[in-house]
Amino acid sequence: MRIGLYPGTFDPLTLGHLDIILRACSLVDKLVIGVAINRDKGPLFSLEERVAMIEAECADLSAQTGCEIVAHPFENLLIHCAKDVGATIIIRGLRAVADFEYEYQMVGMNRQLDNTVETVFLMAEAQHQAIASKLVKEIARLDGDVSKFVTPAVNKALAARFQT
């Protein structure tokens, strides 16, 4: 069984993330969505809320693709998380050239830590390349329309979080 790991904070889960998840499912039999516990970022949504969003939004994708999709919180090194879940592939989404520089460094470090785990980069579809969770939160906070960037359920969760 080929297992992939797609890590991120997913705060919140966007259509760009879902695009990468859908496309990653064609590469693996099981996709673990590694939900990073990054206390330094001060997430808008709790870990439990982010995991619940992923589970809810990915249920149909799993049925549609036949790929098992599971959410897995982690706080350790990415390469250790990959080993913990049995992943031999790390999936990373790229939006722009600026993402590549950081990702390139990350791959180099991960290869030094464990050269048996490969990293695969997937470009987001053109309509999703500008979507960033940080910007989605800012737009929602300022009462802007984020419905083009997130699912209806995530949109509702954002609206509830920023109600005044």
CA distances from 163 to 12, 22, 100, 149, 153 (A): 16, 31, 36, 19, 15
**Residue 67, domain member (yes or no):** yes
In the residue annotation, 41 being an active-site residue is answered as yes
Parent domain of 20: 3-126
Q: Is 87 annotated as a binding residue?
A: no
pLDDT, mean over the chain: 93
**Residue 131, domain member (yes or no):** no
- Nearest-angstrom CA–CA distance, 70 and 66: 13
Residue 162 sits at the vertex; the CA angle it makes with 158 and 164, to the nearest 5 degrees, is 150
67-91 pLDDT, tens digit per residue, is 999 999 999 999 999 999 999 999 9
**Residue 161, domain member (yes or no):** no
More confident residue, 164 or 130: 130
**Residue 11, domain member (yes or no):** yes
Q: Tell me, yes or no, if the pTM score tops 0.75.
A: yes
Does position 163 have pLDDT exceeding 90, yes or no?
Answer: no
**Residue 66, domain member (yes or no):** yes
Q: Quote the pLDDT of residue 42.
A: 82
In the residue annotation, 133 being an active-site residue is answered as yes
Q: Is 134 annotated as a binding residue?
A: yes
Within 13 Å of residue 146, how many CA atoms lie on the same side as its CB? 30
**Residue 137, domain member (yes or no):** no
- Three-state DSSP class for 68? strand
Per the residue annotation, which of 17, 30, 50, 137 is the catalytic one? 17
More confident residue, 29 or 131: 29
**Residue 57, domain member (yes or no):** yes
**Residue 162, domain member (yes or no):** no
CATH number for position 77 = 3.40.50.620
Per the residue annotation, which of 72, 95, 111, 161 is the catalytic one? 95
Number of domains in the chain: 1
Report the pLDDT averaged over residues 5-28. Answer: 96
